[in-house]
Amino acid sequence: MRKCTLSLTVQDSPGVLQRIAGLFGRRGYNMDSITVGASEEEGTARVTIIVREDERSTEQICRQLRKLIDVLEVKELGPSSGVIGRELLLVKLRAAPEQRPEILAMAEAFRCSVVDAGPNSLVLQSTGETEKNDAFLRLAGAYGILEVARTGETAMSRGEKEDVRRLSS
């Protein structure tokens, strides 16, 4: 199994995300993450799906996605060195006043920012590659994680020229 980053351009209309997710569910494929947001073209949205599948399964997924009426384009971004992938992580930590300097030093090492502070808690924001956020969470766990929210990875290819693999239709 390899990590695949699929980038879809879709019509920005109600139910598109449900149809995409339903396709994965019906076919028995698992998504690591799915993100969606407006694209550079009005009336369209960009969907980024991260899957861990072999090449054959990835091609099947792409063929099925192309059959959905609202899907305008399906690309596999890659190879991994040509893809910029980022996710947003929010984590609420138990933070007694005497622990705060230590927590803030850890947050600085990971280039995190404090987005909320309560009497006994801190909410930290981290953006970056999924592996970086995983490492941050492992260290943060020592202070007591109260809540975690992650966006899932969104991605695009580097440079002006697209680094994509066009899969057969």
pLDDT in tens, 102-158: 999 999 999 999 999 999 999 999 999 999 999 999 999 999 999 999 999 999 888
CATH topology of domain 84-154: Alpha-Beta Plaits (3.30.70)
CATH class of 2-80: alpha beta
Give the three-state DSSP class for 147: strand
> Average pLDDT of 47-74?
94
pLDDT at residue 157, rounded to an integer: 85
Ranges of CATH 3.30.70.1150 domains, the chain: 84-154
- Strands (DSSP E) contained in 18-140 are 31-38, 44-53, 71-77, 83-94, 113-117, 121-128
pLDDT at residue 1, rounded to an integer: 83
> Average pLDDT of 29-48?
95
Share of the chain above pLDDT 90, in %: 85
Residue type for position 102: E
> Does the pTM exceed 0.75?
yes
Those residues with Cβ within 8 angstroms of residue 130's Cβ, 6 or more apart along the chain or in another chain: 85, 87, 153
